[in-house]
């Protein structure tokens, strides 16, 4: 679990049906960008908008499009332990290399440290493939405490955590748990450079779906200790993250994907696509990152970047 | 939608399977307590812990146990409009008189007033039975704004709201929308007397599953302007609400049900049952309310109450 | 400590100096409205905008204008115990009947239950006049826990609490502590009827500065068990509270005072007066309450009210 | 405004009086540690616990102890603009090089972007020495929005901001405003390395009062692009920050100062000193950082550090 992993969106046709061919085409194109793998059906993948049959079809189609050297992680997890185990088993049967398991959260007040620890241990015990913990309190209202993560990091079937909280102080605490057996990944693109500089092994970033090469170059620059360049590249990624995903959400990302020649498609209600003004802002912000994504210019930009 | 409605728990056997006979027996006993109806598979019913088949079985079993004059409401609603509509249709087919539709909430930042209004309007347009809005921000992180409720209250297929927020100032604003076509119900037992005194038409209360007669007597006392008595009865209900449901949650309520001779049964993980100390506290708190629930003493207590 | 207490604003001249004659004139007029007393230099009195000399002058001028049968409470309290004691002594020397002591709050994380209890006990021990606790977490970020209030309610020099939190569930818990020796007062005008119906002994309400007779009539109606009338009167007060104080704050209240013939005057920066639109809204909302404040119509309105 | 600035505590004698000699002795010792300057009477300096006379004496004594090449910043600011200007003038007369001006915050709901901007502009216009903005929402409940900071950064008498929010995403946005005329300083020791790596010009850190050399070495290491070493040093500072200041607050810091041979002294109530267990933890955590603070070992440690 190193480098940049993409959490693909799930494209829908205008009538609202899942557009599997678009998903597969997107993945085949991303395969060439230098990313390390995928997290299918994470928050960005609108998993909560899919029924069981659709979930299965998306996982199968994606699995068939991801070549073996790349990581193939599947997002699972519900509010109950029993259902989470069932989902974990199904995803493993369909070829998941690992699972990203969201914190249960509907009965928020009951999600004590002990309850969260027991939940993850039960899922990890029952799963035939390893787990990544998934902390995203801005959506769930439940923050996975650092000491629970510490305890879970010792389970041999729990191999890491994706922290999307945006709380850097907490992230630095998690980093102290990082080891060859336990990866700490950020889910916050604004903090990509900061997280990697502090030693994080990688990132799972929605915005990287439209800027995979830029994100991968930041990771490479930090790895090779070219901090000035990394900082410069981060200053290109940050406005994109702010505009495309933070402000306009999944609808914004799908519109941006369309602009970049990927299959963005529609969102499912109650999500919505950006309005006219939003679309214009997204287009402008994308413009500044375009050079980093054009393959023919790769060498040229790489050279320029080195100069910075 | 007047008086006290109960949101039954879903009893599970020790092995975790749904215990339908226990559910039906509970309902038959509650039928005799003076409550006005039921909300099956609300938050208290662990809906989020059931799979599709179990959901269907619970609704069917409950429907068969609720006599016609009592209201039979079913809790539905997911994060997507499409799925919420599908659930609404299925519940109506199974005989729901009305639906309690939770706010979509996973993509919290996208749940703008416009998104919430559009979601509910779509579900209301598609449903053959009327809806109650369901505002429970402490679980969802999404608060339904009063002006969105105002707009939705004008939809002819939206007949009320259950507000479990505990925010009395907001509740009073909602009450201004109350009419013969739009009921405003509290979901907070600590505020039962306050809500009814302010004019609310009723309440849906988890704690009333162990104290249905006490809750119904509060409603009756307020209706008949016996405020001293209502206040006195509320002072009995409040500690029960604090201990059984606020502190120990669904596990606490199920344990209390067992103590009262109902079929409480187990919870599904990651929820848990109260520990030894918790069980003792629950037992003690229940003791003080017991006189109000003993049918043979009904007349006697009623007489005493009138004296208070 | 019963009935309606007013927390007077501190009028400033256009150049920003305290306008003592205006303050005294306001108080003399309020003396005739049926209120039970005053809290000088509460949050509404911009105490945090005054220097030591000004504070002293305001207390003296107010004291001279309040006739003995009415309560004369003075707001005191800083972030340190030492300074709070010094302020308490000075206010008592100037003739305060009691003190409203705000929670210390700058070092919020250090304001543990033990720290808050010790602070209030120190001030109560040192003060020659009794204290009211003051809980206003929306301004301070510190909520006084109910069990700390319970402990403090047993101190013979602590005679009550003003709770401005707007949290009715918490307020009901505080009410259980109410006794002849310990008053529980609400600071939330939207909850006035609810608080009094639940048994609260009184209220300290900013909005009552422009609607003292209306507020006092609500208190009287609840006391005499005319709940229909009380509810009706509350429905007149609520929009005023929402518009004048909740939305436009102290600037809104001062503008409203000017409209009612009191001396409102200016606020001190960074507070500001309402803009054109705000002023219009305030004027409209006031209009609906005007009949209740016109003394010549007192009997007439009283009669109408009884009909409602 | 570069490097590490210390916000000295204000030592109190056992009877609670300010201990000016201890303050001066502390400063003289810190003068030799490589820090760039001081912020007297910041949050750590218990400014809110001092009266006017004490405030003046502390500023004078400190000024006399700080040699000219080091920055001498004084913390000022109240809830009102008028009082903040008066404080600013007094501090400048006493020799402040610059002022750290906290956001006004008691009337939190009224602290709109426009109100905050106008407040700071008024103070900046009136002050004869330049200002640093001070954002510490965890104490004030008011967060200075990035666009307000952007506007204020253009005022020629506003030369920077101290951001203690701990919100790294926001901090990175502020960094985009950094220039030769506008410094962006972190107030969060856990984020020191991250902030400096991202380009921040410096930091104002309470914990640096007991680890000034360690903090200064982190700043130096980042400046010289020795990121491995900086990260290693940060891993020593982080537990100290967590234990001494985050958990035990000013009392914890004062106890730690005593252990290190500085004059820590007492806190003023309602703050308190750590208990037995807390004192033991603080002592243990300090132990690990001790080598970095021993001057005789400076060269040795420096050499070791380079090896890391």
- What confidence score (pLDDT) does residue D306 get? 40
At residue D302 the predicted structure's pLDDT band, cuts being 50, 70 and 90, is very low
- ipTM comes to 0.94
At residue C1 the predicted structure's pLDDT band, cuts being 50, 70 and 90, is confident
What integer is the mean pLDDT of C262-280? Answer: 97
For the cut 50, the answer to whether the pLDDT of residue A307 exceeds it is no
> E strands along chain A, which residues?
3-6, 37-40, 71-76, 98-102, 131-135, 158-163, 183-186, 202-204
pLDDT in tens, D260-293: 999 999 999 999 999 999 999 999 999 988 899 9
A271:B122 CB<8 A: no
C270:D111 CB<8 A: yes
Residue of D nearest to A193 (CA): D198
How many Å lie between the alpha carbon of C187 and the closest alpha carbon of chain B? 13
pLDDT in tens, D11-63: 999 999 999 999 999 999 999 999 999 999 999 999 999 999 999 999 999 99
What distance in Å separates the CA atoms of residue A175 and residue A57, rounded to the nearest whole number?
35
Helix, strand, coil shares, percent, chain C, to 5: 55, 15, 30
How many Å lie between the alpha carbon of D191 and the closest alpha carbon of chain A? 7
What is the value of pTM for the model shown?
0.94
For the cut 90, the answer to whether the pLDDT of residue A185 exceeds it is yes
Residue of A nearest to D222 (CA): A227
At residue D305 the predicted structure's pLDDT band, cuts being 50, 70 and 90, is very low
A139:B107 CB<8 A: yes
Residue of B nearest to C236 (CA): B176
Contacts of C271 in chain D (CB under 8 A): 107, 110, 115
Contacts of A139 in chain B (CB under 8 A): 106-108, 141
Best of A198, A224, A241 to mutate (most D CBs within 10 Å, chain D): A198
**Residues above pLDDT 70, as percent of chain A:** 95
pLDDT in tens, C59-71: 999 999 999 999 9
What integer is the mean pLDDT of C191-195? Answer: 98
8-state DSSP, A185: E
Average pLDDT, chain D: 94
Residue of B nearest to C190 (CA): B169
How many Å lie between the alpha carbon of C235 and the closest alpha carbon of chain D? 24
- Count of pairs with CB atoms under 8 A, one residue in C, one in D: 105
pLDDT in tens, B79-93: 999 999 999 999 999
Of A43, A80, A268, the CB nearest to B49: A80
Contacts of D172 in chain A (CB under 8 A): 190-191, 194, 238
A194:D166 CB<8 A: no
Report whether C108 contacts C144 (CB < 8 A).
no
Residue of A nearest to B44 (CA): A107
At residue A58 the predicted structure's pLDDT band, cuts being 50, 70 and 90, is very high
Can you say whether the dihedral through the CA atoms of C77, C82, C87, C92 is positive or negative? positive
Residues sharing a CB contact under 8 Å with residue C63, sequence separation 6 or more, in sequence order: C72, C94, C95, C96
Tokens, residue B3: 């008086």
- Count of pairs with CB atoms under 8 A, one residue in B, one in C: 48
How many Å lie between the alpha carbon of C272 and the closest alpha carbon of chain B? 26
A115:B272 CB<8 A: yes
User: Which subunits sit against D, judged by 3+ Cβ pairs under 8 A?
Assistant: A, C
Of C46, C86, C119, the CB nearest to D270: C119
Map chain B to HEC letters: CCEEEECCCCCECCCCCECHHHHHHHHHHHCCCCCCEEEECCHHHCHHHCCHHHHHHHHHHHHHHCCCCCEEEEEECCCCHHHHHHHHHHHHHCCCCEEEEECCCCCHHHCCHHHHHHHHHHHHHHCCCCEEEEECHHHHCCCCCHHHHHHHCCCCCEEEEEECCCCHHHHHHHHCCCCCCCEEEECCHHHHHHHHHCCCCEEECHHHHCCHHHHHHHHHHHHCCCHHHHHHHHHHHHHHHHHHHHHCHHHHHHHHHHHCCCCCCECCCCCCCCCHHHHHHHHHHHHHHHHHHCHHHHHHHHHHHHHC
What integer is the mean pLDDT of A266-279? Answer: 97
pLDDT in tens, D101-111: 999 999 999 99
Contacts of D10 in chain C (CB under 8 A): none
Residues in chain B, pLDDT under 50 = 297-308
Residue of C nearest to D120 (CA): C270
Contacting A with CB below 8 Å, chain D residues are 166-169, 172, 176, 188, 190-191, 193-194, 197-199, 225, 227, 231, 235, 238
How many Å lie between the alpha carbon of C218 and the closest alpha carbon of chain B? 13
Looking at per-residue pLDDT, the higher value among D307 and A5 belongs to: A5
Contacting B with CB below 8 Å, chain A residues are 16, 43, 46, 48-49, 51-52, 78-83, 86, 104, 106-111, 115-116, 118-119, 122, 138-141, 249-251, 268-272
D82:C268 CB<8 A: yes
Contacts of A251 in chain B (CB under 8 A): 110
- What confidence score (pLDDT) does residue C302 get? 46
User: Which subunits sit against C, judged by 3+ Cβ pairs under 8 A?
Assistant: B, D
What integer is the mean pLDDT of C123-150? Answer: 98
Contacts of A227 in chain D (CB under 8 A): 197, 225, 227
Average pLDDT, chain C: 94
Best of B144, B270, B278 to mutate (most A CBs within 10 Å, chain A): B270
Provide the phi-psi class of A37: left if phi over 0, else alpha when psi is between -120 and 50, else beta: left
Query: H helices then E strands: how many in chain A?
Result: 13, 8
Tokens, residue D82: 């008028």
Catalytic residues of B: 162
Contacts of D233 in chain A (CB under 8 A): none
Average pLDDT, chain A: 94
C110:D141 CB<8 A: no
B111:A270 CB<8 A: yes
C190:B172 CB<8 A: yes
Residue linked to tokens 């003394």: C295
What distance in Å separates the CA atoms of residue B168 and residue C171, rounded to the nearest whole number?
11
- Count of pairs with CB atoms under 8 A, one residue in A, one in D: 49
- What confidence score (pLDDT) does residue A300 get? 44
- What confidence score (pLDDT) does residue D294 get? 82
C43:D81 CB<8 A: no
Best of C197, C229, C237, C240 to mutate (most B CBs within 10 Å, chain B): C197
pLDDT in tens, B178-215: 999 999 999 999 999 999 999 999 999 999 999 999 99
Contacts of D167 in chain A (CB under 8 A): 166, 168
Contacts of D238 in chain A (CB under 8 A): 172
Contacting D with CB below 8 Å, chain A residues are 166-169, 172, 176, 188, 190-191, 193-194, 197-199, 225, 227, 231, 235, 238
What distance in Å separates the CA atoms of residue A297 and residue A79, rounded to the nearest whole number?
46
- What confidence score (pLDDT) does residue B294 get? 82
**Is chain C in touch with chain A: ≥3 Cβ pairs within 8 A?**
no
pLDDT in tens, A116-146: 999 999 999 999 999 999 999 999 999 999 9
Please spell the DSSP secondary structure of D127-142, one letter per residue. Answer: -SS-EEEEE-HHHHS-
User: Which subunits sit against A, judged by 3+ Cβ pairs under 8 A?
Assistant: B, D
Tokens, residue A9: 């969106």
Instruction: For the beta carbon of residue A2, count every other beta carbon within 10 angstroms.
Output: 15
């Amino acid at each position: 679990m190193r480098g940049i992993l993409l959490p693909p969106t799930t494209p829908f046709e205008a009538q609202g049906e899942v557009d599997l061919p678009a998903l597969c085409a997107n993945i085949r194109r991303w395969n060439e960008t230098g990313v390390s793998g995928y997290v299918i059906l994470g928050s960005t993948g609108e998993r909560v908008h899919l029924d069981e049959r659709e979930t299965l079809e998306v996982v199968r189609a994606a699995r068939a499009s991801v070549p073996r050297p790349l990581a193939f992680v599947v997002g699972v997890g519900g509010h109950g332990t029993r259902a989470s185990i069932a989902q974990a088993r199904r995803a493993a049967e369909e070829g998941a290399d690992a699972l990203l398991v969201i914190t249960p959260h509907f009965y928020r007040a009951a999600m004590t440290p002990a309850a969260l620890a027991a939940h993850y241990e039960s899922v990890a015990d029952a799963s035939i493939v390893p787990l990544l913990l998934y902390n995203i309190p801005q959506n769930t209202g439940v923050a996975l405490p650092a000491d629970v993560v510490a305890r879970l990091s010792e389970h041999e079937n729990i191999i890491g955590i994706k922290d999307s909280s945006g709380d850097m102080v907490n992230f630095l605490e998690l980093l102290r748990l990082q080891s060859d057996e336990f990866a700490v990944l950020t889910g916050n693109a604004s903090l990509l450079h900061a997280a990697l500089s502090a030693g994080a092994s990688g990132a799972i970033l929605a915005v990287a779906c439209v800027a995979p090469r830029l994100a991968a170059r930041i990771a490479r620059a930090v790895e090779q200790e070219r901090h000035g360049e990394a900082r410069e590249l981060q200053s290109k990624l940050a406005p994109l993250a702010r505009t495309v995903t933070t402000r306009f959400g999944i609808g914004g990302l799908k519109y941006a994907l369309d602009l970049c020649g990927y299959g963005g498609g529609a969102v499912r209600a109650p999500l919505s696509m950006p309005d006219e003004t939003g679309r214009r802002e997204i287009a402008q912000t994308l413009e500044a990152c375009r050079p980093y994504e054009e393959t023919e210019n790769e060498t040229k930009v790489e050279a320029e970047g080195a100069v910075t």
